[in-house]
A and B are shown apart, each in its own frame.
Chain A
């Protein structure tokens, strides 16, 4: 793998950039692998990378139905944070955030992790109390976060309407300084490149159409449009398509697929340097390094695999922008997209074993999958390699839906995640 660094960039610049290698190999599938990962998004690629890097398992294939990172990895608002209430969630997401902090150097790929802080803006007394409770819990969980006054909020986002007579007056807020954004595509590409360099086969346009199982019912391979491929163990990380793959394996999952819309404005010179979420309207936004305001909101609340949203939610979210950031009225929206998110009741991921022996799962991240990519990959790799759940992943097992031991951040905070 040719290293990426300033020197090589300089040299290649002088020699016409003809020496750059493919970021990943595109081999033909082998008949058999030790491990197959279904889903070439961030989670699947990260899993393959950590299998190879941490556990030394390199006879691995990642099967992607379309193009790498083409699912939710490439259709989100790129926010990374670990400002969670429950210790289990905090441990999980902070593990991820810590991996993000070293990711560019780890992968030798600049994923542009920008720790500009993630700020929640509070509008009522009840919000403030909930914020206090949340910040207190985070601090006890070892997460950096603190409350902000109205003035401190205004300082971070001068565009925000903090007038007392605003529809949503700003009583304060809280911030996790280590939170921020990363370049979403780069995360997928960086993992793919690094995994490929360690020997992982990254197979695009390879769709899984069925499972091969032993007489005992254990998975021994998958059927694909490129033929049958054998495997000792299989991991799946297919987000919104989890129930579709589970159906091929003969089980159901407590997962529903919804469209989550997001929007980006035309590029503007820097107007804000943090990530903002409004408690009251659910609108969140940040400004990308390219200058576009990246805006998100809630779900279109009916099942969808369409990767596009509809106007009522679009108008609600953008209405919130117009109301809360009144000087942005003449800014132009450039593009809109939707990811198909895998929503479970408690909005926490499902990690670990499935009803099919040998098949491991990573799904249920819902609207928060991007920030979970490193930890999601790590935990899936750990379980596949060691046969046991990592301590951090154990509470997120599928069995919690029978026992009722949910990890429901939204329920705890009264805030949608």
Chain B
């Protein structure tokens, strides 16, 4: 007995045969087939192995709900795990393997575990593997678990994202969805219709349906579908998306769709198309026409290959011209499954019997069945199956308790239908139990949404039959091997709430997400514990409706499109002059400029020495720059900074600290007073956007009466810093139109004028301890100016300086680097800024500075550090005094070898550090130790002569 292809019918293209392989054997299918239908047509009846017991499994379903046929499809980078064969469209050369078995689904070594089934019940692992230790067992359990394997090669496919807006989004293109789409479009609404299958029509493609009083079947159905598609096209802007599954329903009518753009083409997919596309749809109204999913019946042996859902048998027949076998028995508790018997017979199969659990099926249905010659056994149930491994006979128990055997190779079962309520549930709606129709259906809408058709309610009368007793395992969740006895065990062991049931037995948590099992399980739990299904509760369905690839969700967010990097105007110059560019606070900046054969450490030392002995040029363009102007600008800045700004004279610079309301230092920088009512505020690179944002927040939300304008200028101005003993002469060589003598242009002042003929704002401020000029120019002019400096300075030893040397120079001077020397707990008092406590005026964070914890004397305080016995003062190393044997008393915040001083220089946060000047601390570096002495912060030119010179 075998399953096979019919000579005619179906929606496959017999002119286009397609070769494919499964578990290493070659087969032929046709265009229009799914992998599942092609396998069934080739009489491949065992298509997978179950998760826990490695039981042989056949196709249960024909659609998205399929629990058994999980495939590893494709090769190399394109290898994809855990695809449902029922959703994989066949293409030429497709290679597939059943997951979780070896060497094949048919002959699986893992099946040696089957004799242990009786011990491996739900939750057995909670009760054992504790002695001597879980680790001993875990690795074997892990190996046994899991389904497919991810590719080991990078996924090179492209994934796109599309944002779409519409008046009405319709999910599902069955008779209800299609009619709704046409009606909405005719009404002038912008419509998006999405359909998970390759073609529109949903159930109309394989089942007769009544639409608007008109009975449609076969050719008439196809014509009706075509007419609706034409009507939609005529409406103009309706979007129809096939192979597109609605997977998520989020807040405010945001629905996420996944379109499988080229998956059905396999390796022949054209390069210009993405593999998948994620749609983010915002809909005025959502119409859920997602149909219904048939429930299996729970009886012993119901997982034997050959036992299928009744609708699936019909669908394989009508859509793919595949008859699932030769001899059919139908087992049902409703009228719908009778259609399968008739269809099977019409396709030349033998209908052995119809087993109806109802004592009195609907008269007309019964009549038609008997007229067709079916042996209908009413009031009976299937209570066992046999076959090796494919179904060959089954046992039926009638109302009187007598058993009969039937030989058959297909059992079409139907336990009724459950509306596909997943998206409704995701929208936040509650499900209600309909005790007449025996189904969970959508309750009241909580978003702008309506469920229609079978998704709202399935009207076929159905009789309760939730469990058939008998010998052998009766499966509820096929994919996770959860049987009726597991549910009984859960009930016995206190796991009675639906969530406990789910988590204890793993029911509904497999890749099929319980599409065929949830309702059966929780109604059964209700029966066992004397509760209505609605009282057992339903788990809330969650995104995604069907599993979605990581690639599709991530979209183009990979590499630099995941989080863009910023590049400076001089980026290309740096890149072509030996710079090693690294990310610092989101910007690509030169760490150092390597000369041929040079070690990075040597480069950093060379650059720093150049600054100390000649001059260096540093690209400081990412430095934050914010123009703050308006009549209240000075008052505002007085409150924004921990120190006073309003007393600053025009033309002068002042260093300042910014705090948050907790009194923690969040940024620092130099502020320039351009005019009475205009300031240029510099921030750290990392703080540029944040500080501008904070200023806006305080002005818009708190000090709303201030007349202040905040203009972030960071990326419109480039900054190059010329520093070193030869800086002044180089500046003069390049040409400057204002006096730059030490007294004419003193430290902490600025001038507006021209440098090398280019309009510039020049600040005399230093982060190196040498005479320094920060030259602010337009982005467009910076390259020319930089190159001129390099050209005229080469003979004097001018060198470009990277970040690492820059950090060395400022560490020698003991200058603060926010985020390195401070952290999220550092207050002004902790870095020697106790004087701000004298300010009477309120400022951000003022009150926090006198809280109990802020006044403690054992706070971490910033001190200088000098090595004892040549110790290396590396950042991150911890320190403690002689009295301390455990824990840390401090840590090195900045530390680096200084060629200028011939030793390491360092800064550290030390508990109560101010009062410990001169103390020698014990440093810890892994398992070794070193000594360092607390010293003044500034190690180089402490008098500041070079700075002011």
Contacts known (A87-B887, A327-B151, A331-B549); A23 close to B513, Cβ less than 8 A: no
Whether, in the assembled complex, A28 has its beta carbon less than 8 Å from a beta carbon of chain B, the answer is no
**Bound Cα distance A307, B555 (Å):** 25
Which B residue's beta carbon lies closest to that of A403? Answer: B852
Is B558 in contact with A326, judged by CB distance below 8 angstroms?
yes
Is A20 in contact with B150, judged by CB distance below 8 angstroms?
no
Whether, in the assembled complex, B544 has its beta carbon less than 8 Å from a beta carbon of chain A, the answer is yes
Whether, in the assembled complex, A323 has its beta carbon less than 8 Å from a beta carbon of chain B, the answer is yes
Point out the residues of chain A lying under 8 angstroms from B143, CB to CB.
269-270
Whether, in the assembled complex, A29 has its beta carbon less than 8 Å from a beta carbon of chain B, the answer is no
Whether, in the assembled complex, A232 has its beta carbon less than 8 Å from a beta carbon of chain B, the answer is no
Is B851 in contact with A403, judged by CB distance below 8 angstroms?
yes
Which A residue's beta carbon lies closest to that of B851? Answer: A404
Contact among A109, A110, A332 for B548, CB-based, below 8 A = A332
Point out the residues of chain A lying under 8 angstroms from B504, CB to CB.
185, 189
Interface centre among B130, B143, B510, B880 (most CB of A within 10 A): B130
Which A residues, 150 to 201, have Cβ-Cβ distances below 8 Å to chain B? 158-159, 161, 166-167, 183, 185-186, 189-190
Contacts known (A4-B128, A318-B554); A24 close to B819, Cβ less than 8 A: no
Whether, in the assembled complex, A357 has its beta carbon less than 8 Å from a beta carbon of chain B, the answer is no
Which B residue's beta carbon lies closest to that of A2? Answer: B127
User: Nearest Cβ distance between residue B249 and chain A, in whole angstroms?
Assistant: 10
Is A405 in contact with B852, judged by CB distance below 8 angstroms?
yes
Point out the residues of chain A lying under 8 angstroms from B493, CB to CB.
20-23
Number of B interface residues in the complex (CB < 8 A): 110
Interface string of A11-26 (1 = CB under 8 A from B): 0011011101111101
Is B891 in contact with A137, judged by CB distance below 8 angstroms?
yes
Whether, in the assembled complex, A113 has its beta carbon less than 8 Å from a beta carbon of chain B, the answer is yes
Which A residue's beta carbon lies closest to that of B553? Answer: A318
Is B557 in contact with A319, judged by CB distance below 8 angstroms?
yes
Interface string of A114-144 (1 = CB under 8 A from B): 1100000001111001111111110111100
Contacts known (A266-B547, A269-B148); A412 close to B554, Cβ less than 8 A: no
Interface centre among A161, A306, A318, A336 (most CB of B within 10 A): A318
Point out the residues of chain B lying under 8 angstroms from A159, CB to CB.
150, 152
Is A289 in contact with B142, judged by CB distance below 8 angstroms?
yes
Point out the residues of chain A lying under 8 angstroms from B118, CB to CB.
13-14
Is B134 in contact with A114, judged by CB distance below 8 angstroms?
yes
Is B550 in contact with A318, judged by CB distance below 8 angstroms?
yes
Whether, in the assembled complex, B924 has its beta carbon less than 8 Å from a beta carbon of chain A, the answer is yes
Is B542 in contact with A140, judged by CB distance below 8 angstroms?
no
Which A residues, 274 to 307, have Cβ-Cβ distances below 8 Å to chain B? 281, 287, 289-291, 306-307
Contact among A21, A142, A266, A406 for B147, CB-based, below 8 A = A266
Is A133 in contact with B876, judged by CB distance below 8 angstroms?
yes
Q: Which of B78-86, B451-459, B936-944 contacts A (4 or more CB under 8 A)?
A: B78-86
Whether, in the assembled complex, A268 has its beta carbon less than 8 Å from a beta carbon of chain B, the answer is yes
Whether, in the assembled complex, B779 has its beta carbon less than 8 Å from a beta carbon of chain A, the answer is no
Point out the residues of chain B lying under 8 angstroms from A24, CB to CB.
494
Is B551 in contact with A322, judged by CB distance below 8 angstroms?
yes
Point out the residues of chain B lying under 8 angstroms from A315, CB to CB.
553-555, 557
User: Nearest Cβ distance between residue A330 and chain B, in whole angstroms?
Assistant: 4
**Bound Cα distance A4, B119 (Å):** 13
Number of A interface residues in the complex (CB < 8 A): 110
Is A411 in contact with B549, judged by CB distance below 8 angstroms?
no
User: Nearest Cβ distance between residue B461 and chain A, in whole angstroms?
Assistant: 34
Point out the residues of chain A lying under 8 angstroms from B663, CB to CB.
404
Is A412 in contact with B823, judged by CB distance below 8 angstroms?
yes
Is B875 in contact with A132, judged by CB distance below 8 angstroms?
yes
Whether, in the assembled complex, A328 has its beta carbon less than 8 Å from a beta carbon of chain B, the answer is yes
**Bound Cα distance A125, B500 (Å):** 46
Which B residue's beta carbon lies closest to that of A325? Answer: B550
Contact among A287, A319, A322, A334 for B511, CB-based, below 8 A = A334
**Bound Cα distance A408, B860 (Å):** 14
Contacts known (A112-B134, A129-B876, A268-B147); A330 close to B155, Cβ less than 8 A: yes
Whether, in the assembled complex, B250 has its beta carbon less than 8 Å from a beta carbon of chain A, the answer is yes
Is B875 in contact with A133, judged by CB distance below 8 angstroms?
yes
Whether, in the assembled complex, B157 has its beta carbon less than 8 Å from a beta carbon of chain A, the answer is yes
Which A residue's beta carbon lies closest to that of B501? Answer: A67
Whether, in the assembled complex, B715 has its beta carbon less than 8 Å from a beta carbon of chain A, the answer is no
Point out the residues of chain A lying under 8 angstroms from B854, CB to CB.
404
Whether, in the assembled complex, B646 has its beta carbon less than 8 Å from a beta carbon of chain A, the answer is no
Whether, in the assembled complex, B877 has its beta carbon less than 8 Å from a beta carbon of chain A, the answer is yes
Which B residues, 137 to 153, have Cβ-Cβ distances below 8 Å to chain A? 138, 141-143, 145-153
Contacts A/B (CB < 8 Å), 19 sampled? A5-B127, A5-B130, A22-B494, A66-B497, A110-B130, A133-B891, A134-B876, A136-B924, A140-B880, A167-B563, A266-B81, A268-B146, A322-B562, A328-B155, A330-B155, A332-B511, A335-B509, A411-B824, A412-B824
List 8 A-B pairs, minimum CB-CB distance, nearest first: A411-B824, A329-B155, A132-B876, A291-B146, A322-B554, A319-B557, A332-B547, A404-B853
